[in-house]
Amino acid sequence: MLKHRLFLGISFLVLVALACGGSQSGGSQGSSGESNNEPAESAAPVHQVGEDVRVGDVRWKVTEVVDEGPTLTSDNQFIEDKNTSGKFVRVTFDIENLGGEVKTFTGMDVVDGQGREFKRSSDVFSFIPQDQGCALENLNPNIVKTCQAIYEVPGDATELKAFVGDLSLLGGDEAFISLGL
């Protein structure tokens, strides 16, 4: 019983660390190796939609960005439309593990020009195609995964950028991809 509780406790701590660390943690590409847990836009390079962005052993490519406005319209009679006082931004992207071992992807964050950070909305999963709803994904080596995420951001959010990294648990390289909004 004690071993079972210990195992559950350690598993819980690992999941909390993954969730708190977000999809990427840490230092900046090209920095002196210091690490922190907040995006440092001034230190990380900024790339564009459609551009392949390699961060460590991970390749990112944002393929589409759509400003959905304040309402997500459901095409399913059993799911109600979703409204916000801000706006919804839908981001479609490819992610590929170029390394030799499995990596875990927990999500991609978005930041705006005011430095505000946004996680993907957890209550709009039904508005994402089932095969693109990447929640907690194991990324096997050299398999491209196409994902979609919806972010709820304030109406005044501008200069939105996706914050991408090498998926290291304890810090690593990072970059930004301008979303054009």
**Predicted TM-score (pTM) of this structure:** 0.74
pLDDT digits 0-9 by tens, 83-138: 999 999 999 999 999 999 999 988 899 999 999 999 999 889 889 988 898 878 89
42 pLDDT tier (thresholds 50, 70, 90): low
- For the residues 146-169, what does the mean pLDDT come to? 94
HSE toward the beta carbon, residue 52, CA cutoff 13 A: 9
161 — pLDDT class (breaks 50, 70, 90): very high
The string of pLDDT tens digits covering residues 52-80 is 999 999 999 999 999 999 999 988 888 89
Angle value at C-alpha 17, between 38 and 175, nearest 5 degrees: 35
Where does the pLDDT of residue 33 fall: very low under 50, low under 70, confident under 90, or very high at 90 and above?
A: very low
3 state SS for the chain: CHHHHHHHHHHHHHHHHHHHHCCCCCCCCCCCCCCCCCCCCCCCCEEECCCCEEECCEEEEEEEEEEEEEEECCCCCCCCCEEEEEEEEEEEEEEEECCCCCEEECCCEEECCCCCEECCCHHHHHHCCHHHCCCCEEECECCEEEEEEEEEECCCCCCCEEEEECCCCCCCCEEEEECCC
Q: What is the CATH number of the domain that holds 77?
A: 2.60.40.1240
| The predicted structure's pLDDT at residue 133 | 87
Could you give the number of structural domains in the chain? 1
Residue 141 — left, alpha, or beta (φ > 0 → left; ψ -120 to 50 → alpha)?
beta
Average pLDDT over residues 154-174: 90
Domain that includes residue 53, residue range:
2-178
Helix, strand, coil content of the chain in percent (nearest 5):
15, 40, 45
